[in-house]
């Protein structure tokens, strides 16, 4: 075997499998698409604390997927090896927000479609998805729900609290009730009248009520 035979392999042939203009165009478009996904995610985020790291990972995910698909489409043998290599990858990070899964899949799908050369589908589809996300995921309810946690000394005070909440709020629903020897604790979902929170102060001063706490609530978290 000569010296030239050693370097005569498909590795050197794959150097020019994807042209420089194709690489540059695909990565630039994937960057723009990932940036759009990031801004839509930031606009529609409704969690407790916005994570810039996750937003940046959406941008990186789009570009990385584009790079991988470019390599796969240039070589059939490489595509089979890539499937085997990626099948052993396991991600252990828990997804806290359900919508985060949609954004991850959006970033990956956008990178795949771009690398496949379907640029109009990637651009138009992403714009439509972004508009839908902003319209439906960023809607705010006109009546914001709250959770009222009231500690009562006895059942008589509990009945007074229930009557008071029904008359001073638009809606009052008992979510949980804890009974102990020293009292009763109620957790009620309430909707305020004119966003007035003064009733909780009056409620805490009521006879038989040890404490009254009001916290905001959106169905997913309290804070």
The string of pLDDT tens digits covering residues 47-84 is 666 778 888 888 998 998 888 888 777 666 566 556 55
Residues 6+ apart with CB under 8 A from 14: 74, 75, 78
> Mean pLDDT over residues 192-219, rounded?
80
Residue keyed to tokens 């498909």? 10
List, in order of start, the domains of the chain with CATH numbers: 3-137 (no CATH), 145-216 (3.30.70.260)
State residue 1's pLDDT score. Answer: 46
Give the residue from 212, 134, 132 showing the smallest Cα distance to 168.
212
Structure tokens at 79: 């595509």
Q: With cut-offs at 50, 70 and 90, classify the pLDDT of residue 128.
A: very high
Does an H or E element contain 207, and which?
Answer: none
Residues belonging to the chain: 223
- Encode pLDDT of 33-43 as tens digits: 999 999 999 88
CB 184 within 8 A of CB 152: yes
| pLDDT at residue 31, rounded to an integer | 93
Query: What is the predicted pLDDT for the residue at 191?
Result: 84
Lowest mean pLDDT among 8-22, 43-57, 176-190: 8-22
* CA 45/CA 97 separation, integer angstroms: 10
């Amino acid at each position: 075997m000569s010296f030239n035979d050693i370097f005569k392999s498909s590795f050197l042939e794959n150097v020019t499998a994807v042209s420089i203009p194709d690489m540059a165009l695909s990565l630039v478009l994937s960057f723009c698409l990932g940036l759009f996904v990031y801004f839509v995610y930031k606009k529609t985020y409704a969690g407790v604390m916005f994570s810039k790291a996750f937003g940046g990972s959406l941008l990186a995910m789009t570009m990385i997927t584009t790079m991988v698909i470019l390599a796969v489409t240039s070589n059939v043998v490489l595509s089979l090896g890539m499937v085997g290599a990626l099948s052993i990858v396991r991600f252990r990070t828990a997804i806290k927000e359900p919508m985060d899964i949609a954004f991850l899949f959006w970033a990956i799908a956008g990178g795949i479609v771009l690398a496949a050369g379907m640029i109009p589908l990637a651009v138009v589809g992403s714009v439509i998805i972004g508009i839908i996300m902003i319209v439906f995921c960023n809607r705010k309810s006109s009546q914001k729900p709250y959770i009222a946690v009231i500690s009562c000394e006895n059942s008589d005070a509990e009945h007074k609290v229930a009557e008071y909440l029904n008359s001073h709020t638009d809606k009052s629903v008992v979510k949980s009730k804890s009974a102990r020897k020293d009292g009763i604790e109620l957790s009620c979902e309430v909707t305020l009248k004119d966003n007035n929170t003064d009733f909780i102060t009056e409620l805490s001063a009521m006879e038989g009520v040890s404490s009254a706490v009001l916290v905001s609530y959106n169905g997913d978290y309290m804070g």
